[in-house]
Structure 1
């Protein structure tokens, strides 16, 4: 069955390539033929699994680039097919009929709910965890249930946990992995850090004893330096990779005596870079190779992706939960230019049917004189328009059913346009922007 499963994936992937398609279908076929196929293949070299609510795509891609820079032949699901079927497609497409993956390293972005399938099946060297936030409640359920699904497969894990030291929901994983080693990463206190937080936060109570956690400071949401005064659980006194001298304006940070260029904008993205450096330290990859990767990192689609044409600047951002959306709002707020805002809110299955998260997002951050008008579109445009009114927006508010029309009107109204889109709206929004740019 193993050989048949591998052959079916390779053949279906080859056939789909002629139609310009890819995705997870080949992996679905392979797993249907042999549900245990992932545990039967052989991988030579490190296997890195990257998971978490926000930042896993960027982090996984940067880690894959780092390993390639270090000389590894890397197999990875770079396009973000992070469910079990997508991971099976990536691996089995590079597997010989004898069951050996033809690569010297694997970097696999993995959906949080799929870690329970991937971690026991593969010889994972390192599990990198970026953060845990409330996200897509109708699919992922409450965050506690999601974390428990990962904790349930950690007891036999003998690799290394690479954990965000500033997230109590991540650090708790170490308690459930007695056979694993732990490497931590974080970001030191800086000019953006605050003593209190007004953002949605899920790190209020100690996961060991349920007492309230005390924070010395916050970076955003529940990310910061925390401790439990009852049982001692908290941010480690010594963090293996702790970024310092944070300069958001210059986009730089320091670690281990060297200055690095942050590949993406925003304080939250510094944690992606910290995770990459921590993984590099674990594998003995020199830091200059990471700096080379950071300096040449491509901008991921929909992550502050910028398009320019005829003096206009259009910036596209993906939003899918309150914490990630709030960080996008901060980026928009810091831009002093006169701007138009397009918000595309969908509620399809991949977005999450429950859109109540928009009331935990601080859209008010861009409700200032620099914002000239707001366009709301998408399947739940009415809900977003109501949210704008509840937020106190009194300027021009346009409700447009057609996404392309909304982008076109905003682009005609000004030179700086921010487009904020949920998951299923991201590709249509990007296509609409490209049409405007090509005119």
Structure 2
């Protein structure tokens, strides 16, 4: 009966995926949701490819997953991934059904699957990944994720001994995953010119030793609790990294990737986006574990460095418009994104679309995360105007005032259409516009750019 249910799920899933692609021109998790209704064990019945890579963690999952897909495809292998759907079980089922036969055999060489941390029990119990890359673990949406320790357990409790974990050696939280269970390989980033002796960010999620609970010390901090932790009481420290980034040049936007075989690569990263160094290093570590040629890795990263949709540059009437996706409900993601402002002294206006742009049918929007976010870069002299959009614009403005941001710079718009018109009409030639937006505000960013382009055409 279960096999028959699975066959029915495959057929219905393929039909619904085809129709939705034709109608909406994009992927959704709807086919997977239907499949799991028909056959709850759908993910167990897929005949998976020889290599399965899962990417999880609080921040950087999507970018790392896309980078891995690009490199592995360039190595000549075919890939199935869930880049067009969600990272929960329904999204994975939706992705897999598009590349499988009627008996559920995946036709790709490699499966690269972004996995929501809280979905671990519904995914890792259905199939065993060869590799799980965990980018990091931070505080995230309080309503959904509680705290980083809670999410750690959600992942750790469902790991399989046959899986190799690729872990962030600068993260004393996620770096403890799979102890005494899995083979573990670490990647890290060496001390840089911007590393600090104390935590200068608003929050630090690891201040007590995870082993003895005494006060934890750090050789240095990169940001928040990411750095080199150690305990003088019990001797705790992170394992040595097999793969690491060194010689980070913030002016050039380059760093050196060092692998476990003594090979070195000079690689690019987006200026002002230091966290991308971790994402790239982690992706490269997985690729080298898979024996992908180092030249293929280098060429792929060079080729992809300017194509990411999460960081885009456009120009209208000599005005550069930079849009950056900043994860909603996530103070670390937003704080790191704001540091981009410090990478240039150019005159700039900032647009904040970081609170929910869509009304939720159930529940309410928690705004406590705003007070964990580091908004200091908004006080730079080069920032002229701060536009805040959406129904929560007054909450954001109140938070900025409490944090000492110059309120004379702030302009509020509850209506997104009015915001787009205002920005297009008040822009100044030679001044950059930097837009920070949450995932569901993509269409609002498009409205702003459309208004800018229409003015350019006049």
User: Normalised by the shorter chain, which TM-score bucket?
Assistant: over 0.9
Select which of 340, 351, 360 maps to 1:331: 340
Q: Tell me, yes or no, if structure 1 residue 413 matches structure 2 residue 427.
A: yes
Instruction: State the Cα deviation string for residues 327-367 of structure 1 (Å, max 9, x = none).
Output: 11110122211111111242455998211121222212121
- Matching residue of 2:350: 341
Aligned counterpart, 1:398: 411
Deviates more, 1:410-419 or 1:67-76: 410-419
Residue segments in structure 2 that go unaligned for 5+ positions in a row: none
* 1:90 has 2:70 as partner: no
Q: Alpha-carbon deviations, 1:183-210, whole Å to 9, x = none?
A: 1111000111111112111121222332
- 1:174 maps to 178
Q: 2:231 — aligned with what? A: 228
Q: Where in structure 1 are there 5+ consecutive unaligned residues?
A: none
C-alpha separation in 2, matches of 1:249 and 1:242: 20
Aligned to 1:367: 379
Matches within 5 A, 1:14-413: 14-20=18-24, 21-79=26-84, 81-154=86-159, 156-175=160-179, 178-199=180-201, 200-236=203-239, 238-256=240-258, 257-265=263-271, 266-297=273-304, 298-301=306-309, 303-319=310-326, 320=328, 321-347=330-356, 353-390=365-402, 391-411=404-424, 412-413=426-427
Superposed displacement of residue 433, structure 1: 2.1
Asked if structure 1 preserves the Cα contact closer than 8 Å seen for 2:128 and 2:162, the reply is no
- Give the TM-score of the pair, scaled to structure 1: 0.94
- Matched length: 434
Q: Cα offset for 1:438? A: 4.6
Instruction: Give the superposed CA RMSD.
Output: 1.9
Question: Structure 2: how far apart are the matches of 1:77 and 1:88?
Answer: 9
Is the contact between residue 312 and residue 322 of structure 2 (CA under 8 Å) also seen in structure 1?
Answer: yes
TM-score (norm 2): 0.90
Mapped partners of 2:144, 2:440: distance in 1: 15
